[in-house]
């Protein structure tokens, strides 16, 4: 008779509330994720507005979110009514996703979607 071995797997997903962008990065428009134990992480930055592009970047922490001093993903732009996908396998305890308007004085809206897999 064969023996079956099952390894537990952690799988999580999260959709942040809609964010209205500001002219500069701030904690008000940032999304913070606790990603301890997650090896494979996927992000979708979706620009749901129709009037302006947005800029976004990801900062990492290895000290339980005390400081976000590691540049994980450099700043990138997402056109209006478009999205960008990003995947990450490096380990961090927490991630901060920062979002701002591409053109000052012209806010847009954004949704951050996240999924992670760990063993």
23: containing domain: 10-118
Backbone angles phi, psi at 29, to 5 degrees: -105, 10
Give domain status of residue 3, yes or no. no
Tally of domains within the chain: 1
Give domain status of residue 25, yes or no. yes
Backbone angles phi, psi at 76, to 5 degrees: -140, 155
pTM exceeds cut of 0.85: yes
Of 115, 114, 107, which Cα lies nearest the Cα of 48?
A: 107
On the question of pLDDT at 3 being above 80, the answer is no
Q: What is the pLDDT of residues 34-71, one digit of tens each?
A: 999 999 999 999 999 988 999 999 999 999 999 999 99
Residue 1: the pLDDT is 64
On the question of pLDDT at 115 being above 70, the answer is yes
103: Cβ–Cβ under 8 A, 6 or more apart, which residues? 52, 53
């Amino acid at each position: 008779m064969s023996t079956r071995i099952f390894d537990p797997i952690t799988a999580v997903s999260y959709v942040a509330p809609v964010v209205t962008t500001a002219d500069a990065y701030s904690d008000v428009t940032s999304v913070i994720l606790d990603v301890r134990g997650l090896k494979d992480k996927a992000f979708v930055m979706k620009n749901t507005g129709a009037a302006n592009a947005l800029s976004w970047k990801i900062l990492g922490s290895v000290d339980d979110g005390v400081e976000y001093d590691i540049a994980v993903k450099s700043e990138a732009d997402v056109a209006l009514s478009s999205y960008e996908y990003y995947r990450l396998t490096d380990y961090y305890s927490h991630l901060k996703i920062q979002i701002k308007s591409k053109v000052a004085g012209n806010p847009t809206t954004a949704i951050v979607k996240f999924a992670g897999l760990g063993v």
